[in-house]
Structure 1
């Protein structure tokens, strides 16, 4: 009869150690639901695929985070643009409500409204989100509109008695120079941008010194807030009203366009965000097929290994209890 040799005992010990290691792996699979906690626990092909899938998931998550952060800005811009449009529409109403023949009385109400609207428009254009200015392009740390009291103090308007043309020229010349009222550089910084997908960037935002919209509104507001009406100025005041109405009508149309463009950006971001969410769901499914373990299979594997370990211990005990004297 063969007697167990040292090498046989070593092989049995190695086998027991291997089973114990596999049992530990099975216990971890049961507790975590994952095949392995490290990439080395998967086959080479699965490891490469898993890394690729997780990189894609990380990219999709980053796009969603960028979109969420930008949505706060675009929604604030949208609300601000709508408020500024309302101010311009109220100004248009005030201009329409001037009663010919009673300009001396009605002009005072318009002047009072214009002064208040200057402050409101300035505050709106200085709107911030997370401490960043939204209407100064990429220069988000700089307030685009300075204190309106400073510009009102600096603006010298000719008397209406000298003709409406002089007031118009003074207002337009004053606000054509950004340094008089606007802290943005010349030329102004470009619009803001957000990456919503691989190779896809969306531009958004408006500039406070936009000469076709906000400057136009300020032209009219300052002209009427500083107008001193005296008897006999009706004809010149009427010319000033027609000039103001033309500017405000054009500015309102452009601000409505801005609101529409901002809405298009918001809609595109929402579409991209939903697509990324669907992509993540698909990626999670694919990752799960590689990473996740069937709990029933893991338990069955554990029980099988446990039985093998017990049998190995019993065999080892018997073999190590043998001695040559028992067979003499």
Structure 2
């Protein structure tokens, strides 16, 4: 016959272990009640755990792409705003060119307008958001366009010096020389279509010594969904920007009142032609970026639907019944209260009370 050892300490220890177990269970159920999900998903789902992990990875990936798309849209919106400003300036300048084709007063006015517009163009092409230049192509940390009017670090370099040298080579004099009145319309036309135009060709435009641009020809490509890659930027080397810079520079440097009327009209007519081409090219760039904006928006809408479906499946696997969880918490709290009471009563038991 076997007897069981009974003592106050044994009863107290058993009760204490029971309380610790209930406290752990209460903490687990309270967490589930507060979060609405299983406290230990792997324990509850068993072999279905891999499915919920996979669903959460898909959800996180879509959420990450959506966050990136927010930055992409900011870049596109900033680019479009800059392009709209460039287009408006070019359209106004085109209208001004028509009004100043003749007359000495017009020459001074249009030269000032061209200079201001050129400075504004350079500032727009150097627009940055969060430290990234919008028109630098993939080299977003590089300032894309040289300031035409800034003093170069190395004397005789930069686009301004190149323009001055080209004019001097072609005519044997500087632009502000009174003798420019002797330049014939044919000679001016040949210069504008020859040496001067060549300075705005892609290779010359990006020449490290005499060029304007340090931007990359390759635009930024962004993943806007799990299956789509889209060009989401423009760069300062595009024809639209080279042409508009060419027109502003042409008028700023050569549309002088010192020219003969025929040579002056040649400059204005050529500038009007180039501005017209630049306006058309700029609208093409804006349309391309607008298409990218629309694709990003549509991609976000599709991902919202996908994320909603994924979230539904995740909830089906991981959510707990809140009423059942509340019932378990209430029952455990009641059991703990009883256990605390029994423990207190057991601690008061002593043989000394009966001696």
Asked if TM exceeds 0.5, the reply is yes
Q: Deviations over 1:86-131 (max 9, x none)?
A: 121122112111244x2x3312211111111111111111111111
Which piece of structure 1 moves more, 126-135 or 219-228? 219-228
Residue 274 of structure 1 is matched in structure 2 by 301
Write the distance in 2 (CA, Å) between the matches of 1:209 and 1:44: 58
Q: Is the 8 A contact 2:136 2:143 kept in 1?
A: yes
Write the distance in 1 (CA, Å) between the matches of 2:251 and 2:313: 66
Residue 75 of structure 2 is matched in structure 1 by 73
Write the distance in 2 (CA, Å) between the matches of 1:31 and 1:115: 66
Write the distance in 2 (CA, Å) between the matches of 1:236 and 1:20: 96
Q: Is the 8 A contact 1:171 1:222 kept in 2?
A: no
1:115 to 2:118 alignment: no
Write the distance in 2 (CA, Å) between the matches of 1:4 and 1:66: 72
Write the distance in 2 (CA, Å) between the matches of 1:220 and 1:20: 80
Report 1:88-99 matches (<5 A): 88-99=90-101
Write the distance in 1 (CA, Å) between the matches of 2:306 and 2:92: 47
CA distance 1:19–1:171, shift in 2 (3 Å): same
Instruction: Give, in angstroms, the shift of residue 297 of structure 1.
Output: 0.8
Residue 181 of structure 1 is matched in structure 2 by 211
Q: Which runs of 5+ in 2 are unaligned?
A: 151-158, 172-179, 350-355
Q: Deviations over 1:158-203 (max 9, x none)?
A: 4461432244023212233122232426xx4400011111131111
CA distance 1:74–1:47, shift in 2 (3 Å): same
Write the distance in 1 (CA, Å) between the matches of 2:125 and 2:31: 58
Instruction: Give, in angstroms, the shift of residue 304 of structure 1.
Output: 5.0
Query: What TM-score does the superposition give when structure 2 sets the normalisation length?
Result: 0.75
Q: What root-mean-square deviation, in Å, do the aligned CA atoms of Structure 1 and Structure 2 show?
A: 3.1
Write the distance in 2 (CA, Å) between the matches of 1:294 and 1:46: 18
Report 1:49-68 matches (<5 A): 49-68=51-70
Instruction: Give, in angstroms, the shift of residue 18 of structure 1.
Output: 6.5
CA distance 1:34–1:152, shift in 2 (3 Å): same
1:164 pairs with one of 163, 188, 207 = 188
CA distance 1:28–1:241, shift in 2 (3 Å): closer
CA distance 1:98–1:27, shift in 2 (3 Å): closer
Q: Is the 8 A contact 1:27 1:302 kept in 2?
A: yes
Report 1:226-265 matches (<5 A): 226-227=253-254, 228-230=256-258, 233-265=260-292
Q: Which runs of 5+ in 1 are unaligned?
A: 322-328
Write the distance in 2 (CA, Å) between the matches of 1:74 and 1:135: 11
Residue 148 of structure 2 is matched in structure 1 by 148
Residue 28 of structure 1 is matched in structure 2 by 31
Write the distance in 1 (CA, Å) between the matches of 2:31 and 2:234: 55
Instruction: Give, in angstroms, the shift of residue 219 of structure 1.
Output: 1.6
Write the distance in 2 (CA, Å) between the matches of 1:110 and 1:247: 15
Q: Is the 8 A contact 1:194 1:202 kept in 2?
A: yes
Instruction: Give, in angstroms, the shift of residue 153 of structure 1.
Output: 4.3
Write the distance in 1 (CA, Å) between the matches of 2:4 and 2:52: 46
Q: Is the 8 A contact 2:59 2:310 kept in 1?
A: yes
CA distance 1:111–1:57, shift in 2 (3 Å): same
